[in-house]
Structure 1
Amino acid sequence: MDLLRLVAFDPEDLAVISAHLQDSLLQVGDIAYLPKERRFAIQIRRYDWEAATPQRRLTCMHFEHVKAVRVRGIDQSNKDAVLNLLAIAFDEKDAPSGTATLIFADGGAIQVDLECIEMQMKDIGPVWAAESRPQHEDLSRAERL
């Protein structure tokens, strides 16, 4: 498969990127907030859901037009800690501004306040075999409600 490169300018685009980034792994040390550049960036190990065999790809993602970043439930001093990205949600405040929330397993989250959505993800290589395919509990409809 060719390298994947996606750009988001609205909540629907961001939902597509979120699906591609589900179950990505990253280290706390691979997270960068650059307030002078108004950019938030992460280097991740993306699980390639489209590949025939379980594999991960080195991928970078970043948000532009960042006003602020808040972290909850993540020990920022432990740069080697591994986080599992479950999803990216967007809560529109005063269109086009809003907050993108990166939701991690074990309850951690990063909220990125944006003037508008301008986000990019890009595979940068390399590719390697994943130990297994990520699995999630299949909750019954009653449990989800």
Structure 2
Amino acid sequence: MADLKLLALDSDDLAVISAHTQDAVVRVGDMGYAQRDKRFALLMNRYDWEAGTVRNKGVRKRAALHFDRVLSVASAGIDTNAREGVLELLAISFTETDAPAGIVELTFAGGGTVRLEVEVLEARLQDLGAAWAAKAQPQHSL
């Protein structure tokens, strides 16, 4: 399968990126905010849901996600000093506050969140080429 390269400029676009990054694993040290550039970025090992089957445990791919025009970043339930800590990304959402500005929320397993205050929604997801067999397919209880 070809590498992903997606752009989100509205909530519907972001829902597509959220679906492609569900169950991605992220090291705390691989997230950062460049205040001068107004950019929040993170590296992840995303689970490629299109490649996974019952017989095949699937594939993980190295990917980068960044948000531009970020005014501030806040986190809750995440030890930002534990640089080697690993988080599992569950979903990404956008709530408009004063159009076109709003809040992007990255929700992680265990209740951790990262909230980005943005001037306007502008996100990019790109696979970086590295891919490997996943050890297991992520499971979710209903």
Q: Please say whether Structure 1 and Structure 2 have the same fold, judged by a TM-score greater than 0.5.
A: yes
Q: Distance in 2 between matches of 1:75 and 1:105?
A: 14
Does the alignment pair 1:128 with 2:128? no
Q: For structure 2, which runs of at least 5 residues remain unmatched after alignment?
A: none
| Aligned ranges 1:1-145 → 2 under 5 Å | 1-52=1-52, 53=56, 54-138=58-142
Q: Distance in 1 between matches of 2:19 and 2:125?
A: 12
SS in 1 for 2:20: helix
Q: TM-score, normalised by structure 2?
A: 0.95
Q: What's the offset of the Cα at 1:15?
A: 0.6
Q: Distance in 2 between matches of 1:100 and 1:76?
A: 18
Identity %: 46
Q: For structure 1, which runs of at least 5 residues remain unmatched after alignment?
A: 139-145
Moved over 6 A (4+): none
Tell me the residue number matched to 1:142: none
Q: Distance in 1 between matches of 2:71 and 2:41?
A: 14
RMSD between aligned residues? 0.7
Query: Which deviations, in whole Å up to 9, do the C-alpha atoms of 1:73-125 show, x marking residues without a partner?
Result: 10011101000000001111011110000000001000001000110000002
